[in-house]
Amino acid sequence: MTFVPAYKTIFARRESLESQREQEWLAKEADRKHREHVHELKHRRYTESSLWVPSRFRKNRRDSNASDSSDTDKTTTIRWAA
């Protein structure tokens, strides 16, 4: 009967180590998911589907600014790609 407190402390320590490992694993998993999400967002930023209109808008705005510098009376129009 004298060994019961020793067993309790051993099992309590084992449980605390397991919970600490589990928390570390969960933190690593959350970190990995976050990095994966950021990578996906960066990849999506460079695909044509997400920036279809703004890229055309920026391109046409450059063209219209170049034409506006030569023609000041001409109104600026945004030409959309077909």
pLDDT tens-digit profile of 30-59? Answer: 999 999 999 988 887 666 555 555 555 555
Helix runs in the chain, H state only: 4-45, 52-70
**Tokens coding 65:** 């600014």
Confidence at residue 6, expressed as pLDDT on a 0 to 100 scale: 79
What's the pLDDT tens digit per position in 15-35?
999 999 999 999 999 999 999
The number of beta carbons lying within 10 Å of the beta carbon of residue 77 is: 9
pTM score, two decimals? 0.43
Count of CB atoms situated within 10 Å of the CB of 8: 10
